[in-house]
Structure 1
């Protein structure tokens, strides 16, 4: 299949270096608010790239669940392939792409587990079936004989926890925060002359901005 003739002209917006806020978090929140207002489907979905000691990068979609004062938070199984990568190399990058707005955001930085109590509080807010599903996916990414095994385990756990009440938070499950060290905002423009503004942290207290060639 050849896609060399498939082209789009991006003409929905501009990104002016002189008008961006001092903090990248202000721009991140503003763009996220706009994506939600424009009804972008799951605008908080982001591609997470990690790399363990084998030097082989892995990427998958996860859901951002919070923008903090220092970074972004998502939740997952700590014993998953991504969890193993993070344990071996605590650096990561995420990418948001919103085709409807012709925008991308890249965030890179160090990554670490969040407080266990905060993870537990979020877990208890999840739908009951999602809580049960977290227990089924253990170990996440592990091999399973067939779909029926998964379904049977799910049904058994649903029955067990319907009798006992609250689904306990698994010790192997919780949140990570990526502390932002660099964040790039990309606005598509016509003729491949895209706007790219990158913020780089200075000791976590202030930010430098610069324009990159497209």
Structure 2
């Protein structure tokens, strides 16, 4: 097998198929089950997800971010509100995320609207972060914009280290906070033998009712 020829890189999937009867009625309940199983499998960073937004120019853009919380309403993640992705989400509050759990032959895709989290939610999460991560948020105020070199970033970080003593609480920067993705469509994908994958799509109906369809692989 020539690894330099991606067409020859094939991974056979084995295991039990995914059945409609095994799915939960609500997609976030099903996500909770799969997320727990992904974690228990030892998968590296199961909370890593690919976030896709649409730039004001109309160009789609994707990047990996970390899921920092979820409940029945959706997913929460945090960023710099002046960053490229935050500006895109403010301009067009629709997004998609993908959890690429290939090691356990699964993927989860979600798409829907996004909304900013409240100051209370942002403050609560920021206070729970390690001190180094809090300082990093201050040092990366100009996220997504050009910087001279690594030394400049290190100088910024060291500068903020001297602002607050070890005993002082570091406040949340006003430009830092989170978003909530409110899913309207969720797909659970499980790899099957001979490319006969199992795909089930949840579509939001009225209120919090969801329709479930099996999709052709």
The answer as to 2:86 corresponding to 1:83 is yes
Q: Are 1:7 and 2:10 an aligned pair?
A: yes
1:19 corresponds in structure 2 to 22
From 182, 185, 188, the counterpart of 2:185: 182
- The aligned counterpart of 1:70 is 73
Which residue is equivalent to 1:53? Answer: 56
Give the unaligned 5+ runs of structure 1.
Answer: none
The answer on 1:169 being equivalent to 2:172 is yes
Partner of residue 125 from structure 2, selected from 122, 134, 138: 122
Q: Distance in 2 between matches of 1:90 and 1:115?
A: 16
CA RMSD of aligned residues (A): 1.2
Shift in CA distance, 145/164, structure 1 to aligned 2, threshold 3 Å:
farther
Structure 2, gaps ≥5 residues long: none
SS state of the match for residue 14, structure 1?
A: coil
Q: 1:109 aligns with which of 89, 108, 112?
A: 112
Q: Is the 8 A contact 1:12 1:101 kept in 2?
A: no
After superposition, the C-alpha distances for 1:47-68 in whole angstroms (9 at most, x for unaligned) are: 0000022110110111111112
TM-score by length of 1: 0.97
Q: CA deviation at 1:139?
A: 1.5
CA–CA distance in structure 2, aligned partners of residues 5 and 16 of structure 1: 30
Distance 1:163-1:126 versus aligned 2 partners, 3 A rule: closer
Shift >6 Å, 4+ stretches: none
1:12 and 1:102 in contact (8 A); partners too: no
Contact preservation (8 Å) 1:75, 1:174:
yes
Q: Which residue of 2 aligns with 1:157?
A: 160
Is contact 2:107–2:190 with CA below 8 Å preserved after alignment?
Answer: yes
8 A contact 1:185–1:197 mirrored in 2: yes
Query: How far is 1:163 from its partner?
Result: 6.4
Alignment-derived partner of residue 42 in structure 2: 39
Higher relative contact order (CA 8 A, sep 6+): 1
